[in-house]
Every structure is written in C-alpha cells, then in structure tokens.
Amino acid sequence: MNSFGRIFKITSFGESHGAGIGVVIDGCPAGLALDLEAIQYELDRRKPGQNRLMTQRKESDTFEVLSGLVENVTSGAPMAFLVRNEDQRSTDYAHIAQQFRPSHADYTYFAKYGIRDHRGGGRSSARETIARVIGGAVARQLLAQACGMRFQAWVSAVGQVTWEGRPASEAPSEAGEHSPVSQDSEMVRCPDPVAATQMVSAIDAARKDGDSLGGIISCSIQGVPVGLGEPVFDKVHALLGYAMLGINAVKGFELGSGFAGSQQRGSTHNDAFYTDQDGRTRTRTNNSGGIQGGISNGEEIYFRVAFKPTSTIMKDQESIDDAGESVVLKGKGRHDPCVVPRAVPIVEAMAALVMADLWLRGRGSRV
C-alpha cells in the first residue's frame, strides 16, 4: 500500500504530526557511492518556508541515515532515512478536528478507516513527500552514475499564467547540481524571468485574497537508454502517470504531444526515423515524448503534470462536521497558496523512482 516500485522500491511512513517522516529504500544495487549532501539539497528544495510563496511552517528537514550504508556506499541492505517533525502546532487543527475541509482527505479517510487523526492531516499531508524526495534523490544518483540519465522539471503554469518554453540549459549532469535559473524565476521555479514575475504576482494576489492557485509542472528526462519500459501494462508513461497522479493535488498527466496531440492527424503527428551522423537512430520530431509502444526510444522523455489549486484557503467555506451537520469552516492555519514551486523536486523524484526501477527491470530483458 505504501510501497512504490518493483525492484528499486521505496516504502514511505510517517505523518505530519507524528514523530516524523521516513522511507525505506530497498533493491538499490550495492556499491553506489551516495552524495548525502545532494540528498539534502533536494530536501531543501522541497521544504517549507523557502520564500514568501510557501507555507511558513518551520522545518529544517534534515535526515538521519538509519541503515544501509557502509561509509556512504550502498551495501545491498535496505536504506532507511528519517526526518523528524519539528514545528507541528497541532493546535492549528483544533478548530477542524470535527469538521471536514472541502476537497481535503478528511472525509474520505474518516469514511475509509473510521478513525480521525485529530492532530492534523496525517498521511494526506504533503510532508509525506519527504519520503519520495529522499528516495528519488537516491534513484537519480544511481541513474546519473549508471547511465547518465538526468531529470529537470520546471513550472510552466501558475493559474492562468503559462509559459510554453523550454529551459535554455540541458538537464543538470549530476544529481543535486542544477543550472542556475535567472534571479526572479528561482522563487517560482519557472526558467523564464518574464513569466516568473507574472507567476509570482499571481500567487501574491491569491495569497492576499486568502485564496489559492493551481498550476502545471513540465518535466524532461534526458540521457535515457533505448529499451526501458514494459510493453503492455508497465509502459514508461503509464508508470510515470501513476507516479505523478499519486502526488497530492495532481489531476492530470500528459506525455509528449498529450491532449493537444489528439487533435492532430497521423501524418503530422508521426515521428519520422532517421540515422544521425553518429549512427544513432533518432526521430525528426518528438510528439511521442520519447516513448513508443511503451518503451523508451532514446529521445527526451517529456511530460506535463496538472495541479489543482491548494484546498486550504483563508476564506470561510460551507461544509459539514462529522455528525453531518452544516458548519462554516473558518480559513486558518499555514499553507502554500500555490503548491507547484515546491512540487518541482517531487515531480523529479517520482520520475527518478520510475526510471530507476525500469532501468533495473531492464536488466532481465535479454538472455
């Protein structure tokens, strides 16, 4: 239930208001020299309070390695990491302990399990994604060393502000080393400075209104070997979609030409093959988003992920309590007015988990 992957597998545990968040990483090959600072770097990109666009919960989000490393090299044993919670303020949730927040998981969890974690969001909190970011940081180090695969995500829409461009620089060549983005765009993680400024303004405006925004994250995977993925159910993009749709607030996923591609004709949509000057098989266009028949063709894998606006808002809302009575739910607490900037490292992490698993699974494809 709380595990992801078949060979390279993470198991996530922990709640927003318990002792902390942890992850067990199983199936990572032995002999991988881990850069622990690069893992912390990814956690820092995810953590709250980096700037005014993000929830002001204060967490240092530093991890303890509980197992699996011998002098920072993977031993073949499962790795466990633990990040303790620090700034829990369960009292923030006292006023909603008996109420169901609209479009949150309160009602459905209660209906499913018959139990309510009165201390806060529990497993549905975005703090759980710490487990994924750590797991993904290990996965991308494995892939960077093993085959040079690289991941780069960015914000391509905040509310109605969109930017259709692509980052000027290639995906960074090593885990944790990201090419610097222009100053203003750093805060909102959109490479284009003009669009970034508009996005920041949109978030500021929503925040002042006590409201929230959604957005879109784009992700590019480069250096992908040909032949990853499984033909039928475990197509690369099926697993990427599964991974992305499992991130909080995600409502949509599209690969390559995506929804827009459904409006094209085959004669323009098909990606013609040619042999490049290095003798490699390439395609002239990449509407396929790097995946054909579910299997990587060596081109860039490119996909987009839609996030709904944050459910927590600072406005009064109609709702019910757990006795079914009507209530007016007060806007209170700390939250992100727009989750997409903080979700960028999460998208990269989940993508890395998918690809590491497929890369290891691919070792069994030929005699």
222 vs 288, beta carbon nearer a second copy: 288
**Partners of 82 in the β-ladder:** 22, 64
Segment 77 to 116, residues that bind a second copy, using CB under 8 A: 77-80, 82, 100, 102-109, 111-116
C-alpha 124/C-alpha 128 separation (Å) is: 7
Q: At its nearest, how many Å lie between a second copy and the CB of residue 52?
A: 18
DSSP codes of every residue in 162-198: E-----SSPPPSSTT--PPPPHHHHHHT-S-HHHHHH
C-alpha 188/C-alpha 51 separation (Å) is: 9
Q: At its nearest, how many Å lie between a second copy and the CB of residue 132?
A: 9
Segment 109 to 128, residues that bind a second copy, using CB under 8 A: 109, 111-119, 122-124, 128
Count of residues for the chain? 367
Segment 325 to 344, residues that bind a second copy, using CB under 8 A: 325-326
Segment 7 to 36, residues that bind a second copy, using CB under 8 A: 7, 9, 11-15, 18-20, 22, 24, 26-27, 29-32
C-alpha 15/C-alpha 347 separation (Å) is: 20
Q: At its nearest, how many Å lie between a second copy and the CB of residue 224?
A: 11
Q: Does 135 bind a second copy (CB under 8 A)?
A: no
168 vs 260, beta carbon nearer a second copy: 260
3-class secondary-structure state, position 24: strand
Q: What angle do CA 68, 71, 72 make, to 5 degrees?
A: 65
C-alpha 262/C-alpha 265 separation (Å) is: 8
Letter string b/e over residues 138-167, b meaning 16 or more CB atoms within 10 A of that residue's CB: bbbbbbbbeeebbbbbbbbbbbebbbeeeb
Candidate residues 254, 301, 342, 351; the one interacting with a second copy per rule CB under 8 A: 254
Candidate residues 54, 130, 133, 142; the one interacting with a second copy per rule CB under 8 A: 142
Q: Does 306 bind a second copy (CB under 8 A)?
A: yes
Q: At its nearest, how many Å lie between a second copy and the CB of residue 320?
A: 5
Q: Does 345 bind a second copy (CB under 8 A)?
A: no
3-class secondary-structure state, position 343: helix
Segment 161 to 200, residues that bind a second copy, using CB under 8 A: none
180 vs 265, beta carbon nearer a second copy: 265
Segment 36 to 75, residues that bind a second copy, using CB under 8 A: 64-68, 70, 73-75
